[in-house]
Chain A
């Protein structure tokens, strides 16, 4: 037994040694395709801090990782969406952000700070905001598509992509039925499930890595897509159009947070300040097509980007828009049950 303990200690000691690097490292945990490589390179050039970039494709996956609070998941910076900021804050998973170390916070749009999810922004700094709307490949779709309800049209059978996001997919069905997108009423959720079950035979695929890909692959003609994905997709597929559905678009705000077990919060603060630099914020928005909450950056944007309705919606586009909110665990379980049913009921 003693020998065993010795061997274990030796093994642990060996793995421990390998991580004694000289250079500083920032472990950034972010959505896939949500930060241009150029920004990371420039950050490293400027500060000498290496960035280890890890991605996730759902808030749930990110949350499950961070919740463990162990060393294998020690990220210095993560980018949860709206309602996950409040959830993680309430569960004491986050480190307060030291505002004295953050430069450029005042550039942020007053409409997107001090929200209910994090009053006074003690734990979060807005990164980008965007919407989930309808992507339509006009080369293959005749006539105008104006509403989420149009997805139920027979002609789209087998040509639809949905995001692989339980809350967003149910949001759509709830809105089509005239209910609030953040409903916690089990009966409304069940009705939404039944509505979605009708849609399922038409759904070709779910995608939350890069919802533009099924359009580019030629697999789908219409479906749910994030506005930035639509903008990026247009480069390769100019006929890809982004539509703001009548029932109301799904809006979200993604914010930087520092997890409680971060190893290098210093570097995290530096990175947030770096991104808040107007020039960098503008570069990010131009490159990946989502809207920056940084007002100083808005002024630097290229005309074509600033006037792009897909990235920067007009007030009219945002009529009926709803932000996702934390719905509590009880309702989440109801959603989860129907989501599972939906995806396995082939």
Chain B
């Protein structure tokens, strides 16, 4: 009986999901791939003869430098998020259930404000005449205002601020599943705190770490408005290069090729993640 009732509903859901993916994920990506093999045209943006010029242009050492610098900033962001997020998620899982929900709620509240607006707010805090410098000077901790805005550090601060919840949430889920009896067993078998941490807790939370790293590292390469606002249009990310190609240089094929390269880099990371997850699955629990 249930089956017959569910049938239309199931079809509707499937059509919706597949229609959505086809219309809003597959087609746009296909368009990007298409654009990347076309020729740049000043008045129609792209035109025929198909060729791989855009990809050849990617090999320019200039863009390798941008990519590496972008990767460096994204990696720093990820590392800082991990260092803050790991103990954060751990202690979050220790808090009484009632308060825990409140804390998670507080973690999510900033998402209600547009991230661009929050980035501009950071600008007010970090500026030479900004809140932080004024406060530190009023307290007599520093005599001269520090230069924080429009630096590489400011970009990393901005990225950490925006992406930290994406590190904490997956970590929180693995810590929540961490069974107390494993820790007790480890203790009973004579392992000290440090040894338990290295041999039991870290391996068990590794999937959460990897998921968090991916959720932070990948967007951190693309959030172009953060360097635009906090880095003063310097300290470019790969996302800035792509945006500039589409909007300023009007070189769509190259912009499309750059975005495909970024997508491939992400796909590679996700693939590595799956591989490692499978290995953990086998060796671990």
Whether B18 and A4, one on each chain, are in contact in the complex, defined by CB atoms closer than 8 angstroms, is yes
B248 partner, pick from A58, A91, A205, A344, beta carbons under 8 A: A58
Q: Tell me the bound Cα distance from A207 to B231 in angstroms.
A: 11
Chain B proximity mask over A99-110: 1 for CB below 8 Å, otherwise 0: 000000000000
Whether B247 and A58, one on each chain, are in contact in the complex, defined by CB atoms closer than 8 angstroms, is yes
Whether A219 and B149, one on each chain, are in contact in the complex, defined by CB atoms closer than 8 angstroms, is yes
Q: Which of A215-243 contact B (CB under 8 A)?
A: 216-219
Whether A344 and B65, one on each chain, are in contact in the complex, defined by CB atoms closer than 8 angstroms, is yes
Q: Tell me the bound Cα distance from A63 to B69 in angstroms.
A: 30
**B235 interface contact, C-beta 8 A:** yes
**B281 interface contact, C-beta 8 A:** no
Whether B247 and A60, one on each chain, are in contact in the complex, defined by CB atoms closer than 8 angstroms, is yes
- Closest A residue to B148 by beta carbon equals A219
Chain A proximity mask over B6-30: 1 for CB below 8 Å, otherwise 0: 0000011001101100110000000
Whether A219 and B128, one on each chain, are in contact in the complex, defined by CB atoms closer than 8 angstroms, is yes
B244 partner, pick from A217, A333, A340, beta carbons under 8 A: A340
A217 partner, pick from B128, B249, B251, beta carbons under 8 A: B128
Chain B residues with CB below 8 A from A329, complex form: 42
Whether A206 and B233, one on each chain, are in contact in the complex, defined by CB atoms closer than 8 angstroms, is yes
B250 partner, pick from A11, A60, A214, beta carbons under 8 A: A60
- Closest A residue to B229 by beta carbon equals A209
Q: Tell me the bound Cα distance from A206 to B230 in angstroms.
A: 11
**A343 interface contact, C-beta 8 A:** yes
Chain B proximity mask over A15-45: 1 for CB below 8 Å, otherwise 0: 0000000000000000000000000000000
Whether B248 and A336, one on each chain, are in contact in the complex, defined by CB atoms closer than 8 angstroms, is yes
Chain A residues with CB below 8 A from B42, complex form: 329, 332
Whether A60 and B236, one on each chain, are in contact in the complex, defined by CB atoms closer than 8 angstroms, is no
Taking the closest CB of chain B, its distance from the CB of A233, in whole angstroms, is 13
- Closest B residue to A65 by beta carbon equals B247
Chain B residues with CB below 8 A from A217, complex form: 123, 127-130, 149
- Closest B residue to A60 by beta carbon equals B248
| Interface residue tally on B, bucketed by range | 35 or more
Q: Which of B86-133 contact A (CB under 8 A)?
A: 123, 127-130
Q: Tell me the bound Cα distance from A4 to B26 in angstroms.
A: 15
Q: Which of A318-335 contact B (CB under 8 A)?
A: 329, 332-333
Given A7-B15, A219-B127, are A205 and B65 also a contact pair (CB < 8 Å)? no
- Closest A residue to B152 by beta carbon equals A346
Taking the closest CB of chain A, its distance from the CB of B224, in whole angstroms, is 13
**B139 interface contact, C-beta 8 A:** no
Whether B65 and A206, one on each chain, are in contact in the complex, defined by CB atoms closer than 8 angstroms, is no
**B182 interface contact, C-beta 8 A:** no
Whether A343 and B19, one on each chain, are in contact in the complex, defined by CB atoms closer than 8 angstroms, is no
B residues sitting closer than 8 Å to A (CB atoms) are 11-12, 15-16, 18-19, 22-23, 42-43, 45, 62-63, 65-66, 69, 123, 127-130, 145, 147, 149-150, 232-236, 241, 244, 246-251
Nearest first, the 5 A-B pairs at minimum CB distance are A205-B232, A218-B128, A329-B42, A217-B127, A206-B233
New contact pairs (16) apart from A7-B19, A166-B248, CB-CB < 8 Å: A60-B249, A63-B250, A205-B232, A207-B232, A207-B233, A217-B127, A217-B128, A219-B149, A336-B248, A340-B244, A340-B249, A341-B62, A343-B233, A343-B236, A344-B69, A346-B235
**Can you list 6 contacts pairing A with B, beta carbon distance less than 8 Å?**
A3-B11, A8-B23, A91-B43, A206-B233, A207-B232, A343-B233
